[in-house]
Amino acid sequence: MTTLGEIQARESRHVLQTYKRQPIAFVRGSGSRLFDVDGKEYLDMVSGIGVASLGHAHPGLAAAIAEQASTLLHTSNLYFHPFQAEAAMRLSHLSGLPRAFFCNSGAEAVEACLKFARRFWYTQGAPRAAFVAVSNGFSGRTFGALSVTHDEHYREPFQPLIGPVTFVDFDKPETLAAAVTTKTAAIIAEPIQGEGGVRPMPQAFADAIAEACRKTGALYIADEVQSGLGRTGRAFHFQTLGLSPDLVSVGKALGAGVPIGAALVSEKVAETISAGDHGTTYGGNLLSARAAAFFLAQLTDGGLLEHVRATGTHFERRLRALALRHPMIVEVRGAGLMWGLQLRADATPIVDGARERGLLVNRTVTSVVRMLPALTVETADLDRAVDVLDAVFASVADSARSEVHA
Protein backbone atom coordinates (compact mmCIF):
# COMPACT_ATOMS: atom_id res chain seq x y z
CA MET A 1 0.00 0.00 0.00
CA THR A 2 1.29 3.45 -0.89
CA THR A 3 1.96 5.72 2.10
CA LEU A 4 0.83 9.31 2.52
CA GLY A 5 4.47 10.42 2.25
CA GLU A 6 4.92 8.64 -1.10
CA ILE A 7 1.73 10.14 -2.50
CA GLN A 8 2.76 13.62 -1.34
CA ALA A 9 6.24 13.27 -2.85
CA ARG A 10 4.84 12.13 -6.20
CA GLU A 11 2.19 14.84 -6.29
CA SER A 12 4.69 17.55 -5.41
CA ARG A 13 6.67 16.61 -8.52
CA HIS A 14 3.92 15.88 -11.01
CA VAL A 15 0.61 17.48 -10.02
CA LEU A 16 0.15 21.18 -10.72
CA GLN A 17 0.24 22.83 -7.30
CA THR A 18 -3.15 24.59 -7.39
CA TYR A 19 -4.47 23.08 -4.12
CA LYS A 20 -3.35 23.33 -0.51
CA ARG A 21 -4.30 19.84 0.64
CA GLN A 22 -4.80 18.63 4.20
CA PRO A 23 -2.24 15.92 5.09
CA ILE A 24 -4.47 12.86 4.66
CA ALA A 25 -5.01 10.42 1.77
CA PHE A 26 -8.36 8.64 1.72
CA VAL A 27 -8.91 5.22 0.21
CA ARG A 28 -12.37 4.16 1.38
CA GLY A 29 -15.64 5.55 2.71
CA SER A 30 -18.97 4.42 4.10
CA GLY A 31 -21.86 6.76 4.86
CA SER A 32 -20.40 9.67 6.86
CA ARG A 33 -17.13 7.82 7.55
CA LEU A 34 -13.84 8.04 5.64
CA PHE A 35 -10.77 5.82 6.07
CA ASP A 36 -7.23 6.91 5.24
CA VAL A 37 -4.28 4.92 3.87
CA ASP A 38 -3.36 3.86 7.43
CA GLY A 39 -6.90 2.68 8.19
CA LYS A 40 -7.65 5.65 10.49
CA GLU A 41 -11.35 6.50 10.60
CA TYR A 42 -12.74 10.05 10.21
CA LEU A 43 -16.22 11.46 10.70
CA ASP A 44 -16.85 13.50 7.58
CA MET A 45 -18.71 16.83 7.91
CA VAL A 46 -17.38 18.08 4.56
CA SER A 47 -18.65 15.36 2.16
CA GLY A 48 -16.29 16.44 -0.61
CA ILE A 49 -17.58 20.05 -0.32
CA GLY A 50 -21.23 19.03 -0.42
CA VAL A 51 -20.80 16.57 -3.28
CA ALA A 52 -21.14 13.15 -1.60
CA SER A 53 -24.77 14.00 -0.95
CA LEU A 54 -25.83 10.40 -0.25
CA GLY A 55 -22.75 9.68 1.86
CA HIS A 56 -19.83 7.55 0.74
CA ALA A 57 -20.32 4.21 -1.04
CA HIS A 58 -24.12 4.43 -1.02
CA PRO A 59 -25.14 0.87 -1.97
CA GLY A 60 -28.01 1.91 -4.31
CA LEU A 61 -25.89 4.49 -6.13
CA ALA A 62 -22.94 2.09 -6.32
CA ALA A 63 -25.17 -0.59 -7.88
CA ALA A 64 -26.68 1.86 -10.39
CA ILE A 65 -23.33 3.23 -11.60
CA ALA A 66 -21.69 -0.21 -11.62
CA GLU A 67 -24.52 -1.54 -13.78
CA GLN A 68 -24.23 1.49 -16.05
CA ALA A 69 -20.44 1.11 -16.31
CA SER A 70 -20.83 -2.46 -17.50
CA THR A 71 -23.65 -1.55 -19.91
CA LEU A 72 -22.82 1.77 -21.62
CA LEU A 73 -20.89 4.80 -20.36
CA HIS A 74 -20.82 7.41 -23.06
CA THR A 75 -22.19 8.02 -26.52
CA SER A 76 -21.98 11.90 -26.67
CA ASN A 77 -24.76 14.39 -27.25
CA LEU A 78 -25.07 13.28 -30.88
CA TYR A 79 -27.57 10.64 -29.72
CA PHE A 80 -30.39 10.12 -27.23
CA HIS A 81 -30.22 7.97 -24.10
CA PRO A 82 -32.83 7.51 -21.35
CA PHE A 83 -31.26 9.27 -18.34
CA GLN A 84 -30.95 12.96 -19.31
CA ALA A 85 -34.69 13.24 -19.80
CA GLU A 86 -35.33 11.47 -16.51
CA ALA A 87 -32.95 13.73 -14.57
CA ALA A 88 -34.27 16.84 -16.37
CA MET A 89 -37.88 15.91 -15.59
CA ARG A 90 -37.07 15.51 -11.90
CA LEU A 91 -35.12 18.80 -11.82
CA SER A 92 -38.03 20.52 -13.49
CA HIS A 93 -40.52 19.21 -10.89
CA LEU A 94 -38.24 20.35 -8.08
CA SER A 95 -37.39 23.80 -9.43
CA GLY A 96 -40.41 24.86 -11.49
CA LEU A 97 -38.03 25.61 -14.38
CA PRO A 98 -39.01 23.41 -17.31
CA ARG A 99 -35.67 22.73 -19.02
CA ALA A 100 -32.17 21.61 -18.13
CA PHE A 101 -28.81 21.84 -19.89
CA PHE A 102 -26.29 19.30 -18.55
CA CYS A 103 -22.59 20.00 -18.12
CA ASN A 104 -19.79 18.68 -15.91
CA SER A 105 -19.25 21.11 -13.03
CA GLY A 106 -20.64 24.04 -11.11
CA ALA A 107 -18.52 26.59 -12.96
CA GLU A 108 -19.78 25.26 -16.29
CA ALA A 109 -23.36 25.52 -15.04
CA VAL A 110 -22.74 29.18 -14.17
CA GLU A 111 -20.99 29.71 -17.51
CA ALA A 112 -24.05 28.32 -19.31
CA CYS A 113 -26.41 30.57 -17.32
CA LEU A 114 -24.35 33.68 -18.19
CA LYS A 115 -24.32 32.75 -21.88
CA PHE A 116 -28.05 31.98 -21.91
CA ALA A 117 -28.77 35.36 -20.28
CA ARG A 118 -26.86 37.20 -23.00
CA ARG A 119 -28.47 35.00 -25.68
CA PHE A 120 -31.90 35.96 -24.34
CA TRP A 121 -31.21 39.68 -24.80
CA TYR A 122 -29.57 39.14 -28.20
CA THR A 123 -32.77 37.45 -29.38
CA GLN A 124 -34.82 40.41 -28.12
CA GLY A 125 -32.85 42.54 -30.60
CA ALA A 126 -31.56 44.65 -27.69
CA PRO A 127 -28.32 43.01 -26.58
CA ARG A 128 -27.34 43.47 -22.92
CA ALA A 129 -23.85 42.50 -21.73
CA ALA A 130 -23.69 43.62 -18.10
CA PHE A 131 -24.05 41.51 -14.97
CA VAL A 132 -24.63 42.43 -11.37
CA ALA A 133 -23.13 40.10 -8.76
CA VAL A 134 -22.62 40.12 -5.00
CA SER A 135 -19.66 41.01 -2.74
CA ASN A 136 -18.14 37.81 -1.27
CA GLY A 137 -19.90 35.80 -3.99
CA PHE A 138 -18.15 32.77 -5.52
CA SER A 139 -19.30 31.16 -8.76
CA GLY A 140 -16.24 29.28 -9.99
CA ARG A 141 -12.96 29.81 -11.79
CA THR A 142 -13.64 29.67 -15.53
CA PHE A 143 -13.53 33.11 -17.17
CA GLY A 144 -17.26 33.83 -17.04
CA ALA A 145 -17.76 32.36 -13.56
CA LEU A 146 -14.63 34.13 -12.30
CA SER A 147 -15.92 37.41 -13.69
CA VAL A 148 -18.91 37.25 -11.32
CA THR A 149 -16.77 35.98 -8.41
CA HIS A 150 -15.80 38.77 -6.04
CA ASP A 151 -12.48 37.85 -4.42
CA GLU A 152 -9.67 39.98 -5.94
CA HIS A 153 -7.15 37.30 -5.01
CA TYR A 154 -8.78 34.93 -7.55
CA ARG A 155 -9.46 37.64 -10.17
CA GLU A 156 -6.39 39.88 -10.31
CA PRO A 157 -3.89 37.64 -12.17
CA PHE A 158 -6.41 36.89 -14.93
CA GLN A 159 -7.62 40.35 -15.91
CA PRO A 160 -9.21 41.44 -18.14
CA LEU A 161 -12.26 39.39 -17.22
CA ILE A 162 -15.68 39.41 -18.85
CA GLY A 163 -17.69 42.49 -18.09
CA PRO A 164 -19.02 44.84 -17.18
CA VAL A 165 -19.81 43.38 -13.74
CA THR A 166 -20.95 45.46 -10.76
CA PHE A 167 -20.76 44.02 -7.23
CA VAL A 168 -23.34 44.90 -4.61
CA ASP A 169 -23.34 44.09 -0.85
CA PHE A 170 -25.90 41.71 0.65
CA ASP A 171 -26.14 44.22 3.50
CA LYS A 172 -26.98 47.14 1.22
CA PRO A 173 -30.08 46.03 -0.69
CA GLU A 174 -30.91 49.70 -1.35
CA THR A 175 -27.84 49.94 -3.66
CA LEU A 176 -29.15 47.23 -5.99
CA ALA A 177 -31.68 49.57 -7.61
CA ALA A 178 -28.88 51.87 -8.86
CA ALA A 179 -26.64 48.98 -9.99
CA VAL A 180 -29.29 47.20 -12.07
CA THR A 181 -30.21 49.11 -15.21
CA THR A 182 -31.73 48.43 -18.61
CA LYS A 183 -28.20 47.42 -19.70
CA THR A 184 -28.09 44.57 -17.14
CA ALA A 185 -28.47 41.14 -18.72
CA ALA A 186 -28.79 39.40 -15.34
CA ILE A 187 -28.23 39.57 -11.62
CA ILE A 188 -26.39 36.52 -10.31
CA ALA A 189 -26.48 35.72 -6.59
CA GLU A 190 -26.13 32.66 -4.38
CA PRO A 191 -29.20 32.28 -2.12
CA ILE A 192 -26.68 31.24 0.55
CA GLN A 193 -23.07 32.18 -0.15
CA GLY A 194 -20.92 29.12 0.38
CA GLU A 195 -17.24 29.90 -0.23
CA GLY A 196 -17.90 33.47 0.93
CA GLY A 197 -18.41 32.20 4.48
CA VAL A 198 -21.90 30.59 4.60
CA ARG A 199 -23.83 33.86 4.38
CA PRO A 200 -27.58 33.55 3.77
CA MET A 201 -29.05 36.19 1.46
CA PRO A 202 -31.04 38.63 3.62
CA GLN A 203 -34.76 38.71 2.75
CA ALA A 204 -34.48 42.46 2.01
CA PHE A 205 -31.84 41.66 -0.66
CA ALA A 206 -34.07 38.97 -2.19
CA ASP A 207 -36.95 41.46 -2.32
CA ALA A 208 -34.62 44.04 -3.93
CA ILE A 209 -33.66 41.47 -6.63
CA ALA A 210 -37.32 40.81 -7.43
CA GLU A 211 -38.01 44.55 -7.61
CA ALA A 212 -34.94 45.36 -9.78
CA CYS A 213 -35.84 42.55 -12.21
CA ARG A 214 -39.43 43.75 -12.40
CA LYS A 215 -38.35 47.35 -13.12
CA THR A 216 -35.56 46.70 -15.66
CA GLY A 217 -36.38 43.30 -17.14
CA ALA A 218 -32.97 41.98 -15.95
CA LEU A 219 -32.95 38.21 -15.48
CA TYR A 220 -32.11 36.60 -12.14
CA ILE A 221 -29.63 33.70 -12.02
CA ALA A 222 -29.76 31.79 -8.72
CA ASP A 223 -26.39 30.12 -8.21
CA GLU A 224 -27.51 27.09 -6.19
CA VAL A 225 -24.40 25.00 -6.87
CA GLN A 226 -23.75 24.77 -3.12
CA SER A 227 -27.08 25.66 -1.48
CA GLY A 228 -29.37 23.73 -3.84
CA LEU A 229 -30.78 20.22 -4.19
CA GLY A 230 -31.94 19.64 -0.64
CA ARG A 231 -28.93 21.09 1.20
CA THR A 232 -31.09 23.56 3.14
CA GLY A 233 -34.12 21.29 3.63
CA ARG A 234 -35.96 22.70 0.58
CA ALA A 235 -35.22 21.61 -2.97
CA PHE A 236 -33.73 25.10 -3.56
CA HIS A 237 -33.05 27.95 -1.17
CA PHE A 238 -34.48 30.53 -3.62
CA GLN A 239 -37.86 28.97 -2.76
CA THR A 240 -37.43 29.89 0.91
CA LEU A 241 -36.70 33.49 -0.17
CA GLY A 242 -39.75 33.63 -2.44
CA LEU A 243 -37.64 34.28 -5.56
CA SER A 244 -38.50 33.19 -9.12
CA PRO A 245 -35.19 32.87 -10.99
CA ASP A 246 -35.04 32.72 -14.78
CA LEU A 247 -31.94 30.53 -14.57
CA VAL A 248 -30.51 28.28 -11.85
CA SER A 249 -27.03 26.73 -11.73
CA VAL A 250 -26.63 23.40 -9.94
CA GLY A 251 -23.71 21.03 -9.43
CA LYS A 252 -22.06 19.45 -6.39
CA ALA A 253 -24.83 17.26 -4.84
CA LEU A 254 -26.40 16.45 -8.23
CA GLY A 255 -24.25 13.44 -9.14
CA ALA A 256 -23.66 12.40 -5.50
CA GLY A 257 -19.96 12.12 -6.38
CA VAL A 258 -20.11 11.62 -10.15
CA PRO A 259 -19.20 14.93 -11.87
CA ILE A 260 -22.26 16.64 -13.37
CA GLY A 261 -23.73 20.14 -13.34
CA ALA A 262 -26.79 21.68 -14.90
CA ALA A 263 -28.26 25.02 -15.90
CA LEU A 264 -32.02 25.08 -15.27
CA VAL A 265 -33.82 27.36 -17.68
CA SER A 266 -37.24 29.09 -17.75
CA GLU A 267 -39.43 28.72 -20.83
CA LYS A 268 -38.97 32.42 -21.69
CA VAL A 269 -35.18 32.00 -21.87
CA ALA A 270 -35.31 28.49 -23.36
CA GLU A 271 -37.29 29.80 -26.33
CA THR A 272 -34.31 31.96 -27.31
CA ILE A 273 -31.75 29.15 -27.39
CA SER A 274 -31.06 27.31 -30.63
CA ALA A 275 -29.12 24.17 -31.52
CA GLY A 276 -25.41 24.92 -31.43
CA ASP A 277 -25.65 27.88 -29.05
CA HIS A 278 -23.99 25.82 -26.34
CA GLY A 279 -22.75 22.29 -25.86
CA THR A 280 -20.20 19.95 -24.31
CA THR A 281 -18.98 16.48 -25.25
CA TYR A 282 -19.39 14.81 -21.84
CA GLY A 283 -22.37 16.79 -20.51
CA GLY A 284 -25.01 14.46 -19.05
CA ASN A 285 -23.53 11.22 -20.39
CA LEU A 286 -25.09 7.90 -19.41
CA LEU A 287 -22.98 7.50 -16.26
CA SER A 288 -23.40 10.99 -14.82
CA ALA A 289 -27.04 11.40 -15.82
CA ARG A 290 -27.87 8.00 -14.33
CA ALA A 291 -26.18 9.03 -11.07
CA ALA A 292 -28.12 12.33 -11.11
CA ALA A 293 -31.42 10.55 -11.80
CA PHE A 294 -30.69 8.19 -8.89
CA PHE A 295 -29.87 11.06 -6.52
CA LEU A 296 -32.94 13.07 -7.57
CA ALA A 297 -35.18 10.03 -7.04
CA GLN A 298 -33.82 9.77 -3.48
CA LEU A 299 -34.48 13.46 -2.97
CA THR A 300 -38.06 13.38 -4.18
CA ASP A 301 -39.26 9.87 -3.37
CA GLY A 302 -36.79 8.76 -0.71
CA GLY A 303 -37.74 11.14 2.09
CA LEU A 304 -34.39 12.92 1.97
CA LEU A 305 -35.82 16.46 2.28
CA GLU A 306 -37.71 15.53 5.46
CA HIS A 307 -34.53 13.92 6.81
CA VAL A 308 -32.49 17.09 6.11
CA ARG A 309 -35.12 19.26 7.81
CA ALA A 310 -35.22 17.07 10.93
CA THR A 311 -31.46 16.54 11.28
CA GLY A 312 -30.78 20.16 10.26
CA THR A 313 -33.00 21.55 13.02
CA HIS A 314 -31.23 19.36 15.56
CA PHE A 315 -27.78 20.35 14.24
CA GLU A 316 -28.64 24.05 14.36
CA ARG A 317 -29.80 23.75 17.98
CA ARG A 318 -26.57 21.98 18.96
CA LEU A 319 -24.36 24.49 17.08
CA ARG A 320 -26.10 27.46 18.70
CA ALA A 321 -25.58 25.87 22.12
CA LEU A 322 -21.92 25.30 21.22
CA ALA A 323 -21.54 29.00 20.33
CA LEU A 324 -22.93 29.97 23.75
CA ARG A 325 -20.20 27.91 25.43
CA HIS A 326 -17.30 29.30 23.36
CA PRO A 327 -16.78 33.07 23.03
CA MET A 328 -14.46 32.36 20.07
CA ILE A 329 -17.63 31.72 17.99
CA VAL A 330 -19.26 35.05 17.16
CA GLU A 331 -22.02 33.88 14.81
CA VAL A 332 -23.69 30.66 13.62
CA ARG A 333 -25.01 30.99 10.04
CA GLY A 334 -26.75 28.65 7.62
CA ALA A 335 -29.79 26.47 7.10
CA GLY A 336 -30.60 22.77 6.90
CA LEU A 337 -27.27 20.94 6.65
CA MET A 338 -25.17 23.92 5.51
CA TRP A 339 -23.55 25.68 8.46
CA GLY A 340 -20.75 28.11 9.17
CA LEU A 341 -19.28 29.12 12.51
CA GLN A 342 -17.92 32.65 12.26
CA LEU A 343 -14.92 32.86 14.57
CA ARG A 344 -13.08 35.86 16.00
CA ALA A 345 -9.83 34.50 14.58
CA ASP A 346 -8.35 32.20 11.95
CA ALA A 347 -10.22 28.87 11.90
CA THR A 348 -7.10 26.80 11.10
CA PRO A 349 -6.41 25.60 14.70
CA ILE A 350 -10.01 24.38 14.96
CA VAL A 351 -9.89 22.53 11.62
CA ASP A 352 -6.50 20.99 12.50
CA GLY A 353 -7.57 20.08 16.05
CA ALA A 354 -10.75 18.45 14.75
CA ARG A 355 -8.81 16.46 12.16
CA GLU A 356 -6.39 15.20 14.81
CA ARG A 357 -9.46 13.94 16.72
CA GLY A 358 -10.88 12.23 13.61
CA LEU A 359 -13.40 14.90 12.56
CA LEU A 360 -13.36 16.64 9.18
CA VAL A 361 -14.62 20.21 8.98
CA ASN A 362 -13.48 22.86 6.56
CA ARG A 363 -12.21 26.44 6.78
CA THR A 364 -13.51 29.08 4.40
CA VAL A 365 -12.68 32.82 4.23
CA THR A 366 -10.01 32.37 6.95
CA SER A 367 -12.28 32.68 9.98
CA VAL A 368 -15.27 30.44 9.20
CA VAL A 369 -15.59 26.74 10.07
CA ARG A 370 -17.89 25.27 7.42
CA MET A 371 -19.88 22.04 7.64
CA LEU A 372 -21.68 20.38 4.72
CA PRO A 373 -22.37 16.80 5.89
CA ALA A 374 -23.99 14.20 3.64
CA LEU A 375 -27.74 14.77 3.32
CA THR A 376 -28.15 11.25 4.71
CA VAL A 377 -26.13 12.00 7.88
CA GLU A 378 -27.48 10.49 11.09
CA THR A 379 -28.33 12.56 14.16
CA ALA A 380 -25.86 10.57 16.29
CA ASP A 381 -23.04 11.58 13.92
CA LEU A 382 -24.02 15.25 14.09
CA ASP A 383 -24.02 14.96 17.90
CA ARG A 384 -20.60 13.39 17.82
CA ALA A 385 -19.28 16.12 15.53
CA VAL A 386 -20.51 18.84 17.90
CA ASP A 387 -19.03 16.99 20.92
CA VAL A 388 -15.64 16.81 19.20
CA LEU A 389 -15.83 20.51 18.26
CA ASP A 390 -16.69 21.31 21.88
CA ALA A 391 -13.46 19.63 23.02
CA VAL A 392 -11.43 21.29 20.24
CA PHE A 393 -12.70 24.80 21.05
CA ALA A 394 -11.98 24.21 24.74
CA SER A 395 -8.45 23.03 24.03
CA VAL A 396 -7.67 25.89 21.58
CA ALA A 397 -8.97 28.41 24.16
CA ASP A 398 -6.81 26.73 26.85
CA SER A 399 -3.66 26.98 24.72
CA ALA A 400 -4.43 30.64 23.91
CA ARG A 401 -4.79 31.33 27.67
CA SER A 402 -1.53 29.58 28.54
CA GLU A 403 0.29 31.54 25.80
CA VAL A 404 -0.98 34.78 27.35
CA HIS A 405 0.22 33.70 30.82
CA ALA A 406 3.56 32.32 29.62
Ligand X SMILES: Cc1ncc(COP(=O)(O)O)c(C=O)c1O
Minimum Å distance from CB 219 to ligand X? 17
Cα 389 to Cα 326: distance, rounded to the nearest angstrom: 10
Of residues 29, 48, 140, 197, which one binds ligand X by CB under 6 A? 140
Asked if 108 contacts 164 with a C-beta cutoff of 8 angstroms, the reply is no
**DSSP bridge partners of 249:** 223, 263
Asked if 320 contacts 332 with a C-beta cutoff of 8 angstroms, the reply is yes
| Host H or E run for residue 370 | strand 368-371
Q: Does 226 interact with ligand X (rule: CB under 6 A)?
A: yes
ω into 259 cis (within 30 of 0):
no
Bridging pattern class, strands 192-193 and 184-189? unpaired
End-to-end Cα spacing for the chain: 44
Span interacting with ligand X, options 100-108, 291-299, 322-330, 347-355, rule CB under 6 A = 100-108
Minimum Å distance from CB 398 to ligand X? 34
Coil, helix or strand for 298? helix
The identity of residue 159, as a single letter, is Q
Contact track, ligand X, 354-393, x by CB under 6 A:
----------------------------------------
Please list every residue from 241 through 260 that binds ligand X, using CB under 6 A: 251
Nearer to ligand X, 43 or 221 (CB): 221
The identity of residue 298, as a single letter, is Q
> What single DSSP character describes residue 158?
G
Span interacting with ligand X, options 127-135, 188-196, 264-272, 381-389, rule CB under 6 A = 188-196
Cα 97 to Cα 91: distance, rounded to the nearest angstrom: 8
Of residues 44, 111, 190, 246, which one binds ligand X by CB under 6 A? 190
Span interacting with ligand X, options 19-27, 88-96, 218-226, 381-389, rule CB under 6 A = 218-226
The identity of residue 35, as a single letter, is F
Name the residue with the smallest CB distance to ligand X.
106
Span interacting with ligand X, options 76-84, 132-140, 172-180, 303-311, rule CB under 6 A = 132-140
**DSSP bridge partners of 186:** 131, 219
Nearer to ligand X, 44 or 195 (CB): 195
**DSSP bridge partners of 335:** 338
Q: Does 106 interact with ligand X (rule: CB under 6 A)?
A: yes
Nearer to ligand X, 51 or 328 (CB): 51
Chain residues binding ligand X by CB under 6 A are: 105-107, 110, 138-140, 190, 194-195, 223, 225-226, 251
